[in-house]
Amino acid sequence: MPTSAKTTLSATKMSMPGVDAKVLRCFTAYDVRGRLGEELNEAIAQRIGRAFAEVLGARRVVLGRDCRASSVALAGAVADGLMAAGVEVLDLGLSGTEEMYFATSHLGADGGITVTASHNPMDYNGMKMVRAGAAPLSGDTGLAAIRALAERGDFAARRAGGRLTPCPEARAAYVARVLSFIDLGALRPLKVVVNAGNGAAGPTFDALAAALVAKGAPLEFARLHHAPDGSFPNGIPNPLLAENQPVTARAVLAAGADMGVAWDGDFDRCFLFDHTGAYIPGEYIVGLLAEAFLAKEPGAKIVHDPRVIWNTQDVVARAGGQAIAARSGHAFLKQALRDTGAVYGGEMSAHHYFRDFMCCDSGMIPWLLVGELICRKGAPLADLLTERRAAFPSSGEINFRAPDPAATVARVDAAFAPEAPDRDTTDGLSLAFADWRFNLRASNTEPLLRLNVEARGDAGLVRDGAARIAALIHAPGGSS
């Protein structure tokens, strides 16, 4: 983004080509995400920037962007909208979403925006937004008002004082905060494969690695798909997809590494592999991180999502902590941390939240903590999880396309509820039996039903339960 941006917004109500003034379909429950062109373009981005500033009464706003080809122009348009409202735009340039979270708090800004579509297809882009202190900005805490004003376009008169201020120095402060989560003296020699997926992670990781070297940390890194490239020559960075995991697994084996790390496009999620190249499902990483924090802060509260819970609850109970379930989704997990004072919160989708990181999620803090735990335990990552995975096997998330999700869930509920002593509807449908349980919920972002099944010590129960539920979902009128 240039250090000065031409402001193209008028002082009063705007009429912009490419903007449907009646509805902006790029708004989701948590953020902005849309197909480039009709759903999201520079004109719409200007409106959103302007509306963001006016709804929040903002005077200073942090702005970052990922490496997608469209992100430079969209970020410039957001800056135009912000500056038309008299905002000083604190420009991070190419950066991760968590850097925006940190800088919003660290710089005392009134809000923050990252232009990113994370792991979405090439023809998408979007924005993640927070208010002051990096507090979540969801549908019921301002996002609906921003959408409504952006759609109406009846903005206040143009304000003077808008300007763009580059803030490259924010990264050094961010690196220092990330490293504060680990005891550098506990680290032992480790070799780590890092796969940035040609997303935004590379430059930030390099700054972090340089700081580790400067402090004498005995870590060795093998970089894979490291350079940011918005054309994504090695595919969209989404390591949660099984088809995207072998490339990191092979690199771990080829390098003889102790662990592997892969990030999504804006690196607010990281995905871990053990020394055998095996991918570690997210719910077991939640348990590991809970254990790590409870070793440092005995009796602490740990927040988890309600999809796969038994391993986490067992780890927390054994360590003398308190497990707290919260609804899935970043806005809900962040608010739960703020409300309860929990030290850590984790979702099986690889979002990990930290009290001392503005209660926000980070893709850099988790792998460092796991590396420290490996060093402290003196055992490979695979060995740390063998017992846990056997004690609490799980299915992994199984997705179904359902024309009528509510009716499909109701059919599953009617079939299983009579035999379930424990029923919970905090987030979708959760039914627990003596030795197995499941959660079935509609996706917040896609037209999908998501199923997770877990058991106590019996993988057969997981397979059987998943098969029974899938048969109900696939029944006539259920799903495709």
Q: What is the pLDDT of residues 86-112, one digit of tens each?
A: 999 999 999 999 999 999 999 999 999
* Distance between CA atoms of residues 167 and 112, nearest Å: 13
Q: What is the pLDDT of residues 335-389, one digit of tens each?
A: 999 999 999 999 999 999 999 999 999 999 999 999 999 999 999 999 999 999 9
User: Please, is 231 exposed, middle or buried when counting C-beta atoms within 10 Å of its C-beta (0-12, 13-18, 19+)?
Assistant: exposed
Q: Pick the catalytic residue from 70, 71, 118, 394.
A: 118
* Distance between CA atoms of residues 428 and 413, nearest Å: 11
* Residue pair 267/199 in contact by the 8 Å Cβ criterion: yes
* Distance between CA atoms of residues 57 and 139, nearest Å: 18
CATH topology of domain 398-473: TATA-Binding Protein (3.30.310)
Task: Please say whether the dihedral angle defined by the alpha carbons of residues 324, 327, 328 and 331, taken in this order, is positive or negative.
Answer: negative
Q: Is the confidence at residue 54, as pLDDT, over 50?
A: yes
* Residue pair 465/453 in contact by the 8 Å Cβ criterion: yes
State which H helix or E strand residue 464 sits in.
helix 459-473
* Distance between CA atoms of residues 273 and 374, nearest Å: 13
- Decide the pairing of beta strands 448-455 and 436-442: antiparallel
pLDDT at residue 331, rounded to an integer: 87
What is the overall mean pLDDT for the chain?
Answer: 93
* Residue pair 128/113 in contact by the 8 Å Cβ criterion: yes
Distances (CA, A) of 304 to 61, 301, 335, 451, 463: 31, 10, 12, 17, 24
Residue 225 is encoded by which pair of tokens? 């798909």
- In this prediction the pTM is 0.92
Residue 61 is encoded by which pair of tokens? 């706003």
Q: Is the confidence at residue 446, as pLDDT, over 80?
A: no
Would you kindly state where each structural domain of the chain is located, as residue ranges? 32-168, 169-279, 398-473
Q: What is the DSSP letter of 215?
A: T
- Rounded to the nearest 5 degrees, what angle is found at the Cα of 296, between the Cα atoms of 294 and 299? 40
Residue 459 is encoded by which pair of tokens? 């993988």
Q: Confidence band (pLDDT; 50, 70, 90) for 3?
A: very low
CATH topology of domain 32-168: Alpha-D-Glucose-1,6-Bisphosphate; Chain A, domain 3 (3.40.120)
Residue 247 is encoded by which pair of tokens? 């490339």
Q: What is the DSSP letter of 143?
A: I
Q: What is the pLDDT of residues 270-288, one digit of tens each?
A: 999 999 999 999 999 999 9
Distances (CA, A) of 15 to 8, 50, 88, 153: 11, 14, 24, 8
* Distance between CA atoms of residues 477 and 409, nearest Å: 12
Q: What is the pLDDT of residues 168-195, one digit of tens each?
A: 999 999 999 999 999 999 999 999 999 9
Same fold, 32-168 and 398-473: no
Give the rounded percent of residues in the chain with a pLDDT score beyond 70.
94
* Distance between CA atoms of residues 275 and 34, nearest Å: 38
DSSP SS3 for 363:
coil
* Distance between CA atoms of residues 282 and 394, nearest Å: 11
Any catalytic annotation for residue 118? yes
DSSP SS3 for 250:
helix
Task: Please say whether the dihedral angle defined by the alpha carbons of residues 418, 423, 429 and 430, taken in this order, is positive or negative.
Answer: negative
Q: Is the confidence at residue 8, as pLDDT, over 50?
A: no
- The DSSP bridge partners found for residue 279 are 273
Stretch 317-329: mean pLDDT:
95
- Specify the range with the lowest mean pLDDT, choosing from 181-190, 254-263, 397-406: 397-406
Look up the CATH architecture of domain 169-279.
3-Layer(aba) Sandwich (3.40)
